[in-house]
């Protein structure tokens, strides 16, 4: 009899195969290191790579940008609905609803073919930023700003949120953050998307389910908690005493540690430099000093390196973005990876249906209600 193996949280369990990304030897998207992509590519190039399998040639990139531009609008009914959602609704709930609503107006919603799913994925890359920006402005008592198709995806996000043309460094910072968040193997939200579509459900349902998984503070919501940490510290002078007191209380410091990166998250290493540059441009050197002190002590004394949430939260803060948008920004990037995994799953599908280890009572005899 084969012995059943149980791994809590499926840690270390190989649950499928993928050609999209790997974390072995550093994070790679389709064979390209994340450092090379962040240094030399745009988010549009990376989105094309993740979805289509290869880096685009110039003509392919131009055509991709044209398709994104053509899709950079949302039905008026969706914008109207976004304005009617209760003002206090969490933005991630709005993003989840927005992804679901977009399905009703997508001409390919019922078509699960490879080509149709690529078309739907590209439209979501263009439309989810509109959902986020429009809701943010409507909840703030402002009218939505239409997409400027002359801008990059990163530039357009900043433009639609503020109505102001962003600086080149701000656009670069947003672009790199989108690249770094685009894909990450079988994480919780990606696995959720694959489980959903493995039943032959549609791409929009899979993305909606993935957003629900990302909402949790142990996954996408962690970057919001990083700013809470830095706000609690307050100043560079208090950083060392704060972190030592937190460690003495054995408190978990958000932004540090990762299930699979035991020696350091390569995305965090790359983004740290960009954080420093943006902090200097925006006058946020004090926060960067706080972060450096906390990071140095945690890494030196606890041997726990930072993950991507640690620098990305600061980056968004330096860009002047409200904390409520931090995890939704993750959605705008990761929709590329989620969609690629849905397409890959459906191209060679088998329903994902694991077993459970039963821990309940043994066989019992049924007793009629009048004798209980």
Q: Render pLDDT for 219-236 as a digit per residue (tens, 0 to 9).
A: 887 778 888 889 899 899
pLDDT given for residue 9 in this prediction: 83
Determine the pLDDT at residue 198.
98
Are 340 and 121 spatial neighbours (Cβ–Cβ below 8 Å)? Answer: yes
- Element (DSSP H or E) covering residue 58: helix 58-70
Same fold, 18-216+327-347 and 222-318: no
Count how many Cα atoms sit within 13 Å of the Cα of residue 5 in the half-sphere of its side chain.
7
Is 222-318 a domain of CATH 3.30.420.40? no
Residue 12 has a pLDDT of: 81
- The C-alpha atoms of residue 6 and residue 70 are separated, in whole angstroms, by 48
Instruction: Collapse the DSSP code of 306 into the 3-class scheme (helix H, G, I; strand E, B; otherwise coil) and give the result.
Output: strand
The region, left, alpha or beta by phi > 0 then psi within -120 to 50, assigned to residue 367 is beta
Per-residue model confidence (pLDDT) at position 259:
67
In this predicted structure, what is the pLDDT of residue 260? 67
Q: Which CATH class is domain 18-216+327-347?
A: mainly alpha
- Cross-sheet strand order for the sheet of 32-33: 21-22, 28-29, 32-33
Give 42-57 as a 3 state SS string.
CHHHHHHHHHHCCCCC
User: Which residues are designated catalytic?
Assistant: 258, 309
Contact 325, 132 (CB under 8 A): yes
- The helix or strand, by DSSP H or E, that contains position 342, with its residue range, turns out to be helix 326-347
Residue 60 pLDDT:
98
User: Could you say which residues of the chain have pLDDT below 70?
Assistant: 1-3, 258-264
Task: Look at residue 228 in the predicted model and tell me its pLDDT.
Answer: 87
Each residue's pLDDT tens digit, 263-295: 667 888 888 888 998 999 899 999 999 999 999
Other beta carbons less than 10 A from residue 263's beta carbon = 8
Look at residue 133 in the predicted model and tell me its pLDDT: 98
Q: What pLDDT, on the 0 to 100 scale, is given for residue 89?
A: 97
Q: Where are the domains of the chain?
A: 18-216+327-347, 222-318
């Amino acid at each position: 009899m084969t012995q059943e193996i149980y791994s809590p949280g499926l840690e270390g369990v190989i649950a499928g195969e993928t050609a999209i990304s790997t974390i072995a030897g550093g994070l790679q998207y389709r064979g390209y290191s994340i450092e090379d992509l962040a240094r030399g590519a745009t988010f549009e190039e990376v989105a094309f790579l993740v979805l289509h399998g290869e880096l685009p040639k110039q003509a392919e990139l131009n055509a991709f940008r044209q398709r994104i531009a053509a899709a950079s609008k949302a039905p008026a009914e969706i914008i109207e609905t976004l304005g009617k959602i209760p003002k206090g609704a969490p933005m991630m709930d709005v993003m989840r609803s927005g992804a679901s609503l977009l399905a009703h107006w997508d001409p390919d919603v019922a078509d699960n073919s490879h080509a149709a799913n690529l078309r739907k994925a590209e439209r979501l890359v263009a439309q989810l930023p509109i959902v986020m920006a429009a809701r943010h402005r409507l909840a703030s008592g402002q009218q939505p700003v239409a997409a400027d198709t002359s801008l990059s995806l990163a530039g357009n996000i900043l433009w639609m949120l503020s109505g102001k043309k962003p600086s080149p460094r701000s656009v670069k910072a947003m672009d790199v953050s989108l690249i770094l968040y685009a894909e990450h193997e079988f994480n919780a939200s990606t696995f959720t998307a694959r489980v959903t579509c493995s039943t032959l459900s549609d791409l929009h349902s899979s993305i909606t389910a993935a957003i629900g998984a990302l909402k949790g503070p142990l996954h996408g919501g962690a970057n919001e908690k990083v700013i809470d940490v830095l706000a609690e510290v307050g100043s560079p002078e208090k950083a060392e005493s704060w972190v030592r007191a937190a460690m003495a209380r054995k408190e978990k410091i958000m932004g540090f540690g990762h299930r699979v990166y035991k020696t350091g998250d390569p995305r965090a290493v790359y983004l740290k430099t960009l954080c420093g540059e943006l902090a200097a441009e925006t006058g946020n050197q004090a926060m960067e000093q706080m972060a450096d002190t906390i990071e140095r002590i945690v890494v030196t004394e606890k041997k726990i390196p930072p993950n991507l949430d640690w620098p990305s939260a600061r980056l968004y803060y330096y860009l002047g973005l409200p904390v409520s948008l931090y995890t939704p920004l993750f959605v705008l990037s990761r929709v590329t990876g989620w969609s690629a995994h849905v397409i890959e799953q459906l191209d060679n599908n088998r329903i994902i249906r694991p077993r459970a280890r039963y821990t309940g009572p043994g066989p019992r005899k049924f007793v009629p209600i009048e004798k209980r």
